[in-house]
Chains A and B, each alone.
Chain A
Amino acid sequence: MSDTTLSHPATAARPDAGQRASRDLLRRGRLKPAEIVFWLATAASFFLLPDRHLLLSEIVILGLFALSLDLIIGYAGVVSLGHGAFFGLGAYVAGLVSVHLTGEPLTGLILAALAAGILGLATGPLLLLRASDLTRLMVTLGVAMLLLEAANRAAWLTGGADGLQGVTINPLLGRFEFDLFGTTAYAYCLIVTFALFLLARRVVTSPYGLSLLAIRDNALRARSMGIPVGPRILGIYAFSALIAGVAGALLTQTTMFVSLDVLAFHRSADVLLVLVLGGVGYLYGGLIGAIAFKLLQDWFSAITPQYWMFWMGLVLMVIVLIGRDNLNALPRTLMRRLRREDRA
């Protein structure tokens, strides 16, 4: 199928180039051994750490949220300081669905995803008006702040500062109740995250994903090659918003509570931090960053509830300085190091 689409006249003149591209895509699409090990280890955590399921669910949700941000930053080069808007919208939609419509979790999840995706489609064009990073930071931040204030105002709908009351989620698939130990919650989060990860992976290793990379590296050149820059960016932005919405919905459904906090600025800032920590542009950055971030936080705050932020900040600075990296180079050095460790 991809072969036929690729062999339009321009590439037919140089068949080897088209073949090379499709072979390259196929190679990128294959799961690598390290990736299989990563997911096996994740699955094993479910059985090996039965009393940490609550924390693990939180990690997976943050990881999925960071993954959604990676799609736009790492693959399309669109920076955002307001990704929390989609996360928060997803969280509220899932909460409202359970209060007013049905406690069935999958319905809430899908509706939350759609709502966030639509918001992404609606606000995406704002990013295209002025394609500079600073403008985009401002616009995304603005959207998130507008949403926060709207939720604060609409207290009749959202419960305002007190939080939305009465969120109850029915057993998953009618059989698995969300228990106190967080076991069902963790399994649910893991499966949803894995499924969305596979989908995201499919998207970025498709010809579409390749065109995004071209846009990221040089938008002007991509345009002159005939890539429709605007629609492509809009597409990935909406997809990323949709995933962020799912992450928000997972948070609401597993904690059975939602308050204004899901829309707060620190969500957007944290997720960016997590992503930078793990590295952008290879999808695993968000997940690895979330694991490192949450475990460090949990560990430090258990030792010193009052001053853990100081140690956290110190460690983050050391990591970034030792990596002596900017946003783009971090994943490469990390991967290089990982590979070196693999060989050793």
Chain B
Amino acid sequence: MQRRNLLLGAILVASTALAGMPALAAGDPFKIGLILPMTGPFASTGRQIEAAARLYMAQNGDEVAGRKVELIVKDDASVADTTKRLAQELIVRDKVGVIAGFGLTPLAMATAPLATRAKVPAVVMAAATSSITEQSPYVVRTSYTTPQVTSKIAEWAAGQGMKKVVTVVSDYGPGLDAEKTFVAVFGAAGGEVTETLRVPLQNPDFSPFLQKVADAKPDAIFAFVPSGVGAQFMKQFVERGLDKTGVKLLADGGITDDDILNGMGDPALAAITGFHYSAAHDSELNKKFVADFASANDGMRPNFMAVGGYDGMHAIYAALEKTGGDSSGDALIAAMKGLAWESPRGPISIDPETRDIVQNVYLRRVERQGDQLWNIEFETFEAVKDPGKTGS
């Protein structure tokens, strides 16, 4: 009888000890679910972000505030309902503390309500439509927003005394965002957008549009196209001799994406772009980032996607450090608000009100240094907030 009681007691003790284990948060691994397009047309986004996230972990160790950090990478092939399902599975099955990634706007939009419901922070590392952070109080962004960059290009253009500009954008969400911002900001600064041209997203042929531009004889042309087709755009721009006629080419920096810039050749030299990150950014931190990234990834050059992923990881690490290992969603989000740090792109911070990124926007021109092309920054707008937010 006594022995049985002893046995029972032992089992009870053992079971409570086992049940008590998860409560000891310090011993638990902290999981980050990274959902990226690893296949399909946007695979390069996923490749860059994954490489950057792994680099961050290699540089900073995989332990924060006494908790081991685990990275789970999932491929959504940029299909919105897959993104959402994967996020849901990561939350309910893998019990991740944070979901991150999101290559395109619809993917982030689909997942935002889920973040609210599950109270799990979602760190947007790529998608750039302004309104994403308004979809849920649990969304934090470490990439950039289209209006943030475009508004500064427009301001700069007006400051240079340009009066007439024609816009050429790809006909999809971010392109229309850019067009809207440029027309508004450039108009407010006293310039005039004489024509707004929209090019189909699929199989674009820019020549008829560029002919229209040539006929209109503007001071400059503002372009926003997805990074992949940027090369083709600039090639046709130069082939038509537009660069010789004195028409300036202004564009969002996605057009001279660092990842593929070297393959573009001389036509890229015509572009003046505005952006938040260049692999040629002049700082110690960035030099180390570019060198480490290249050595870990077979010579690949990091682009703006990579820096978004790298800083996203930093935001997660820093927040977890701040909460002392408490991984509840509310604590993490509270900790991320107002974070400020030095990133490879320059000083950045998370706006405590909008949870969106505040960062420098640089104007750059493409220059050849040795046998490589680089985006060289020549003017800086400091601590730019997203102008797309209501009330700012």
Q: How far is the CB of B31 from chain A (nearest CB, A)?
A: 14
B81 adjacent to A306 (CB under 8 Å): no
Q: Considering the chains assembled together, what is the distance between the CA atoms of A309 and B109 in angstroms? A: 25
B118 on interface, CB distance cutoff 8 Å: yes
Surface stretch bound by A, among B71-79, B186-194, B347-355: B71-79
A257 adjacent to B110 (CB under 8 Å): yes
B84 on interface, CB distance cutoff 8 Å: yes
For B109, give its contact among A55, A165, A181, A301 (CB under 8 Å): A165
B81 adjacent to A309 (CB under 8 Å): no
Q: Considering the chains assembled together, what is the distance between the CA atoms of A96 and B222 in angstroms? A: 35
B81 adjacent to A54 (CB under 8 Å): no
Q: Considering only CB atoms and an 8 Å cut-off, how many residues of chain B contact the other chain? A: 32
A251-B106 contact, Cβ under 8 Å, with A180-B91, A305-B38, A305-B75: no
A102 on interface, CB distance cutoff 8 Å: no
Surface stretch bound by B, among A72-80, A156-164, A214-222: A156-164
Q: Considering the chains assembled together, what is the distance between the CA atoms of A255 and B109 in angstroms? A: 12
Interface size class of A (residues with CB under 8 A): 20 to 34
Residues of the A chain whose Cβ atoms lie less than 8 Å from the Cβ of B114: 180
B92 adjacent to A51 (CB under 8 Å): yes
Residue of B at shortest CB range from A301?
A: B75
Residues of the A chain whose Cβ atoms lie less than 8 Å from the Cβ of B113: 256-257
A24 on interface, CB distance cutoff 8 Å: no
The SS class assigned to the A binding surface is helix
B282 on interface, CB distance cutoff 8 Å: no
A162-B85 contact, Cβ under 8 Å, with A180-B91, A260-B106: no
Q: How far is the CB of A60 from chain B (nearest CB, A)?
A: 13
A259 adjacent to B173 (CB under 8 Å): no
A255-B110 contact, Cβ under 8 Å, with A55-B89, A181-B92, A301-B75: yes
B93 adjacent to A162 (CB under 8 Å): no
The residues in A between 286 and 309 inclusive whose CB is less than 8 angstroms from any CB of B are 301-302, 305-306, 308-309
Q: Considering the chains assembled together, what is the distance between the CA atoms of A302 and B86 in angstroms? A: 11
A261-B106 contact, Cβ under 8 Å, with A163-B80, A165-B135, A308-B39: yes
B75 adjacent to A259 (CB under 8 Å): no
Q: Can you report 21 A-B residue pairs in the complex whose CB atoms are below 8 A from each other?
A: A51-B92, A51-B93, A54-B88, A58-B85, A160-B173, A162-B105, A162-B131, A163-B80, A165-B109, A180-B114, A180-B117, A180-B118, A255-B84, A255-B85, A257-B109, A257-B113, A261-B80, A261-B81, A266-B79, A306-B46, A308-B39
Residues of A at the B interface (CB closer than 8 Å) are 51, 54-55, 58, 152, 160-163, 165, 180-182, 251, 255-257, 259-262, 266, 301-302, 305-306, 308-309
7 nearest A-B residue pairs (beta carbon): A161-B173, A305-B75, A259-B106, A257-B110, A163-B106, A259-B80, A305-B38
